[in-house]
Structure 1
Amino acid sequence: MQKRIAIIGGGIVGATAAYYLSQLPGGQNVKVTLFDDGVGQATSAAAGIISPWLSKRRNQQWYRLAKAGADLYPELIHDAKLGTDVYQQTGTIVTRSDDSDLEALFALAQERRQDAATMGDVSALSATEVQAKVPLLTTSHPGVFISGGARVDGAALVAGLLKQATSQNLTIRRERVTLDNQGNVVTSVGLKQFDRVIVAAGAWVKELLAPLGVLADVRPQKGQLIELAVKDFESQERMPVVMPEGERDFIPFGHGKLLVGATHDDEGKFDLKATPEVTADLLGSAQRLMSGLTAESVTATRVGTRAYTRDFAPFFGPVPEHEAILVASGLGSSGLTTGVQIGRLLAGSALYGGTPDWSDYEKPLTTYLATSAE
C-alpha cells in the first residue's frame, strides 16, 4: 500500500523535501502531493548567497545548520542534474573599510576553514584585487575572498527540483489549502487525508497550524530586490558575489544580469507590491559601487515574504501532539542556505518515521510552538 504524503508550500524546504522523497530508498512506495498557490513565496523572489562561514551569529546551532546546507549544495546540484544557471561556486567577497575589521574577518575565515572544506581557499584582497575579480565594480574596499562561496537562483532551483520529483512520484496542485482540527488537508474539492503532512509555508505557517490549537512564533517580513541590465563581461558568469560593507549584496549573473538586494521590511509584512522608494534605495546602493547605472538599468523587481521567529532562528520537525504533521518555518534571509538541509531531514522523517534528534541544528520545537491552552 502506498504511503501518502502532502507538502504545503513549494519554496526551498517544500521543493527539497519533494525531491528527496522521490530519490530516497522507499520513495517508489510513496505518493506525494504538493500544494502551493505561488503567491508571495520568498524562495522564488530570491537570489541567494551561499556563504555562511563568516557570519558572526552567536547561535552555533544555526551555524551548524547553515554549514550543513552549504556542504549539501554541490551534491544536490549534481544529483538533480541542475546547471550553473541555478547554482555556481563563483566565490564570495566580504568587504571591510577598516584594516582591523578586515584582519579580524580574515582570522575568522581561517579558523572556520579548519572544519569546513567546502569553503575552499581563503585570501585577503586589496580594493584593486577585488575590482579585478569583479570588473563590474568601479568602487570597492578591501575584502576577504572565499572560493567555495556560491550564488543560487531560488526560482530556478525550485523549478528544477520539482521537475525531477514530478517525473517520479510528485503531483503539484496550484491552490491554497488549509488544515482542519484533525490535521486533514482542506482543498478546493474537499478534505484529503494523508499519512504525513509537511507544512513548509513560511510566514503562512501560523495560520495553517491555528486550527490544530497550535500557536506558532512566526512573523512575516517583506523583502525586495532589483535586477539590473549591465555590461556583459566575458567572465561575468564566474564573477564572485560581493557582500559590501554598508551596502546591499551585489550578485552578478551571466548575460549582463546583476541582482542587488534584498531589503528587510518588517512593516511591509505580506505586501507584495514593489515599493518605488525601496527600488530607488537599492539602485542607489548599486550606483555607489558601479558607475553608469540609471533608473533605466532596472529591468525587474522581485518581492517576497520571509518568515522570522523572535530569536531569528528556524525551527522544524514533528508538531508536538500532532506527530503526523511536520513543520518548518522561520528561515529568514538565510533560507536558501539552510532550507535544503531542512528539506532533506524532513523528507527522511516523513518517509521513515521515528523520533529524530536534530538538537545540533535547533532549539526544542516548544520554543516556537505552543498550544492555545498555554
Structure 2
Amino acid sequence: MQKRIAIIGGGIVGATAAFYLSQLPGAQQVKVTLFDDGVGQATSAAAGIISPWLSKRRNQRWYRLAKAGAALYPELMHDAQLGTEVYQQTGTIVTREAAVDLEVLADLAQERRRTAPTMGTVSVLSAKDVQAQIPLLTNPQPGVLISGGARVDGPALVQGLLDRASAVNLSVKRERVTLTTDGDVVTSMGPQRFDRVIVAVGAWLKEVLAPVGITADVRPQKGQLIELAVKDYPLQEQMPVLMPEGERDFIPFGHGKLIVGATHEDGGKFDLSRDPAVKADLLASAQRLVSGLSADSITGMRVGTRAYTPDFAPFFGPVPEHEKLLVASGLGSSGLTTGPEIGRLLAGSALYGGEPDWSEYEKPLTTYLSSSAE
C-alpha cells in the first residue's frame, strides 16, 4: 500500500526531506506532496556560509548538529548530483584586527579541529595573505583560514533538490495551505489526508499549528542581503568566504557576483519590503572592504524571515500526542548549515516511524511546543 507524505514548506528543511524521501529504501512505495507559496522563505535570503566551527555559542547540542550538517554537504551534493555552482568548499576566512584576538581565534580553531576533521586545515594569514586569497579586497585584515569552510547558493540548492525528487515521487504545489484540527492538510481542492505531515514553515509554525491546538514558541526575524557586480577574477569561483570583524559577511561567487549580508532585524518580523536604509548600510560595509563600489554595483536584494526560539536553538521531530505530525523550526541564521541534517532525519522518521532519540542535537520538543489548552 502506497504511503502518502505531505511537506509544508519548501525551504532547506522541506526540500532536503523531499530529496531523501525519494532516495531512502522504500521510497518507491511513497508519494510525496510538497506545498509552498514561496513567500518570505529564509533560505532564499540566506548568505550561504557553511562554517560553524568557530562559533562562540555555548550550546553543545546546536554545535553537534551544525557539525553534522556541515559534514553532510559533500555526500548530499554527490547524491543529488549538484555542482560547484551550488556548493563549493572554498574555505572560510574569519578576520581579527588585533594580534591577541587573532591568536585566540587560531587557538580556538585548532582546538575545535580535534573533534571536527571536516574543518580541514587551519592557517593564520596576514592582511597581505588574505588579500592574495581574495583579490577583490582593498582593505584586508589578518585572519584565520578554515579550508573546509564552504559557500552554498540556497535558492539553487533547494531547486536542485526538488528537481531530483520530482523525477522520482514528489509533486510540488505552489500554494498556501493550513491544517484541520485532525492534522489534515487544507488545500485549494479541499482537505486532504496524509499518513505523515512534515511542517517546516519556519517562523510561520505558530500560525500553521494553531488549528491543531498547539502553540509554538518561535518568533520571526527579518534578514536582508544585497548582490553586487564586481570585477570577475579568473579564480573567483575559488575565493574563500570572508567573515570580517565589524562588517557584514562577504561571499564571492563566480562570474563577478558578490553577496553581502545578511542582516538580523528583530523589529522587521514578517515585513518583506526592501529597506533603502538597510540597502545603504550593506553597501557601505562592502565599500569599506572594496573600493570603487557604488549603488550602481547592486544587482539585486533579497529579503526573508528567519525563525528563532527563546534559547536560539532549533527543534525538530514528531509532535507529542500528534503522531502523524513532524515539525522543524527555530533554525535562525544557521539554517543552511543545520537544515540538511534536520531534513534527512525527518525524512527517515516520516518514512519508517518509531520514536527517534535526537537528544544529542536538541532539547525535548515540549520545550518549544505546548497545548493551547494549557
One-letter amino acid of the structure 1 residue matched with residue 178 of structure 2? T
Match of 1:309 in 2: 309
Deviation at 1:266, TM superposition (A): 1.0
Query: Match for residue 81 of structure 1?
Result: 81
- Give 1:366 deviation, angstroms: 0.6
Contact 2:40–2:305 (Cα < 8 Å) also in 1: yes
- TM (norm. structure 2) is 0.99
Q: Which residue of 1 aligns with 2:24?
A: 24
Post-superposition Cα deviations, 1:252-278, rounded to whole Å, max 9, x if no partner, equal 000000000000111111111110000
2:373 corresponding residue in structure 1: 373
Task: Map Cα deviations across residues 32-73 of structure 1 (whole Å, 9 max, x no partner).
Answer: 000001111111222310000000100000000000000000
Aligned-pair distance for 1:116? 1.1
Q: Which residue of 1 aligns with 2:48?
A: 48
Cα distance in 2 for residues equivalent to 1:15 and 1:165 = 9
Matches within 5 A, 1:1-374: 1-374=1-374
- Structure 1 length-normalised TM: 0.99
CA displacement at 1:98 relative to structure 2:
1.5
Between 46-55 and 5-14, report the one with greater CA deviation.
46-55
Distance 1:108 1:298 in 2: 36
Please report how far the alpha carbon of residue 114 of structure 1 lies from its aligned counterpart in structure 2 after TM superposition: 1.1
Instruction: Give the conservation status (yes or no) of the 8 Å contact 2:349–2:356.
Output: yes
Moved over 4 A (4+): none
The amino acid that maps onto 1:343 is G
Distance 1:312 1:139 in 2: 33
CA contact (8 A) 2:46 2:333 kept: no
Which amino acid is 1:48 matched to? G
Give a deviation string over 1:114-138, Cα, whole Å, max 9, x none. Answer: 1211111111001110011000000
> Any stretches of 5+ residues in structure 1 without a counterpart?
none
- Residue aligned with 1:198, SS: strand
SS at match of 2:22: helix
Paired residue secondary structure (2:82): coil
Q: Secondary structure at the match of 2:305?
A: strand
The residue identity in structure 1 corresponding to 2:88 is Q
CA distance in 1, matches of 2:79, 2:316: 24
Deviation string, structure 1 residues 162-202 (Cα, Å, up to 9, x no partner): 00000000000000000011000000110000000000011
TM-superposed CA distance for 1:100, in Å, is 1.4
CA contact (8 A) 2:15 2:162 kept: yes
Consecutive unaligned residues in structure 2, runs of 5 or more:
none
- What CA distance in whole angstroms lies between the structure 2 residues aligned with 1:9 and 1:115? 33
Q: What is the alpha-carbon distance in structure 2 between the residues aligned to residue 100 and residue 190 of structure 1?
A: 62
What is the distance in 2 between the residues matched to 1:343 and 1:19? 9
Which letter does structure 2 place at the counterpart of 1:86? V
